[in-house]
Amino acid sequence: MNEEQSSVILNTSSRFSPPQGVKLSYGTAGFRADASLLQSTVYRVGILAALRSLKTKSVIGVMITASHNQVSDNGVKIADPSGGMLSQHWEPFADALANATSPHQLVKLINEFVEKENIPFDGIRPAEVLLGRDTRPSGDDLLEAARQGVTSIIGAVALDMGILTTPQLHWMVRARNKGLKASEQDYFEQLSSSFRYLLDLIPSERSKLGGANEKLVVDGANGVGGVKLKALEKLLSGLVIEVRNSSEDGGVLNDGVGADYVQKEKVVPHGFGSKDAGIRCASLDGDADRLVYFSVQPESNGTIDLVDGDKILSLFSLFIREQLSILNEKEDIKNLHQARLGVVQTAYANGASTGYLKQLGLEVELTPTGVKYLHEKAAEFDIGIYFEANGHGTVLFSEYFTGWLEARSNELSSGSKGSEAEKAALRLLAVSKLINQAVGDALSGLLLVEVILQHMEWSIHRWNDLYHDLPSRQLKVKVADRTAVVTANAETVVVSPPGLQEAINEETAKYPHGRSFVRPSGTEDVVRVYAEASTQETADSLANSVAKLVDRFLG
């Protein structure tokens, strides 16, 4: 950087003093903390985003959100050129920027990184950054801090895209970098038109009035997703949605509502009760990147039948496998590409879901915990599907396979859907446009669930009966040094300390359908324990036994 650029950063950064005694780390969720601590960090992320834009010669995104956290928290994350998460290679630089103690140290760090990464300041292509925020009251001020960070890089442009869901911002970044239309209205139109197209491709002998056609009731977590879903519904036909707990309804964000609450507590969110028994319900999280379904049990005092991310993954896998089977069985498709379909999970996926997917003959891969690992592995397939039980996930289509599907679509005569194989190709192409290719998206995921249920003429109860989860339990064990636990094989095997894995194996073997693993937390000095078994009592017992082993080996 030249002296003028360094001077601008020195002057602007002096307005944003970092909080004393606070060390922040950029993880899968970006930076998150109490909103009062974040102005300096968000300003510095704005700088990072502008530098990332210069380095990649692409549009970058900055999203102000803390997702399912309480309303007093906030956070910031980067959307890379693909619409995905910030390159892991840049995460240490993000940490260093956030924790620099003075403007001079900040400038020194930036200068060193710019030289190391050979980031151009030639003015040929100025940095361009899209800014978005959710509905949190702190979002306005933090977005302004991000804007000032971006524009402290001379020539950089920051575009305020307004209040958005997190997936909308990621979608916009991806679209802009592909030279496509990228407004919020373009997002709504792509989703709604793809949904309608898939409805039109439902086999004619099916009534389209099956178990999935009654009203869907959606819990919006008192966040941004409810408002956006109401706007999207105006463009839809063939689906009736009632939205509760929208941000405009006056409730507190993520307080007794939302996908995280429903999935973990397995009870109805605020505003739902016995009157909703048997109805198909869904819940978004605060920034609408997670989705779970549920039905209220009759006379249950608020308990639910949860249909979580594992079940969503299974539904998507079943439908896509069916379309690929139709393609592979028919001989009237020219130049057929034998697509490789893969399913990606973490060790936290319920063992019953993994068993069901393998029974379908699907290729199932495990990765370490974290969306960045799941997304990266899914991208290795022609079609890669990943979901966590918490409801975050998506379906990725390779550019090669999407191109093949596009070519098939272009070959069809105008107004004709062609043979069954051609219809299958058209369905897959429509899925690739409906489901968000950048990141997990509750709104696009919800529409794909709904059209598949109509295609199969399934109720939520038929869907939930695909398999039955094994009872499980998660525990945390406080330890002096979590780094003493080192794992391998997607965190399913302990390699250090010696002997701990053998002890876990011996304990697990005592329980029917027993499975257990431990892993160090990424955020606090605890070791997380997960256990499954044939009954809740035995799952609890196994988890407690393994927790005692962790305490003994690390005590």
What is d(CA 74, CA 287) in angstroms, rounded to the nearest whole number?
11
521 is in an annotated binding site: yes
For residue 173 the two structure tokens come to 């970044």
| Domain with residues 310-439+459-464, CATH architecture | 3-Layer(aba) Sandwich (3.40)
Q: Is 353 annotated as a binding residue?
A: no
Q: Which structure tokens are listed for 135?
A: 């509905």
Q: Is 528 annotated as a binding residue?
A: yes
Which helix (DSSP H) or strand (DSSP E) does residue 227 occupy? helix 224-233
Q: How many residues does the chain have?
A: 555
Answer yes or no: are the C-beta atoms of 372 and 85 closer than 8 Å: yes
Topology given in CATH for the domain delimited by 3-163: Alpha-D-Glucose-1,6-Bisphosphate; Chain A, domain 3 (3.40.120)
257 neighbors 268 (Cβ within 8 angstroms): no
Residue 390 among known ligand-binding residues: yes
User: How far apart (Å, rounded) are the C-alpha atoms in residues 442 and 444?
Assistant: 6
Out of 67, 82, 314, 545, the active site residue is 67
540 is in an annotated binding site: no
305 annotated as a binding-site residue: no
Whether omega before 497 lies within 30 degrees of 0, making that bond cis, reads: yes
- Under 8 Å CB-to-CB from 312, ≥6 apart: which residues? 291, 292, 293, 387, 391, 393, 445, 449
Query: Domains of the chain: which residue ranges?
Result: 3-163, 310-439+459-464, 472-554
Containing 496, the helix (H) or strand (E) segment is: strand 493-496
Supply 183's token pair.
Answer: 């407004």
User: Over its length of 555 residues, how does the chain's per-residue pLDDT go in tens digits?
Assistant: 899 999 999 999 999 999 988 999 998 789 999 999 999 999 999 999 999 999 999 999 999 999 999 999 999 999 999 999 999 999 999 999 999 999 999 999 999 999 999 999 887 889 999 999 999 999 999 999 999 999 999 999 999 999 999 999 999 999 999 999 999 999 999 999 999 999 999 987 765 444 455 799 999 999 999 999 999 999 998 899 999 999 999 999 999 999 999 998 999 999 999 999 989 999 999 999 999 999 999 877 889 999 999 999 999 999 999 999 998 876 455 555 689 999 999 999 999 999 999 999 999 999 999 898 999 999 999 999 999 999 999 999 999 999 999 987 776 544 455 788 889 999 999 999 999 999 999 999 999 999 999 999 999 999 999 999 999 999 999 999 999 999 999 999 999 999 999 999 999 999 999 999 999 987 678 999 999 999 999 999 999 999 999 999 997
What is the bridge-based pairing of β-strands 157-163 and 128-133?
parallel
Contact 43, 141 (CB under 8 A): no
Does 519 belong to an annotated binding site?
Answer: yes
Question: Residues 6 or more apart from 440 whose CB is under 8 A from it?
Answer: 167, 289, 290, 371, 387, 391, 392, 393, 394
Task: Locate 299 and state its tokens.
Answer: 């006379």
State pTM to two decimals: 0.94
Residue type, 497: P
Annotated active-site residue 459? The verdict is no
Superfamily of domain 472-554: Alpha-D-phosphohexomutase, C-terminal domain (3.30.310.50)
Q: Do domains 310-439+459-464 and 472-554 have the same CATH topology?
A: no
Cβ-Cβ contacts under 8 Å for 234 (sequence gap 6 or more): none
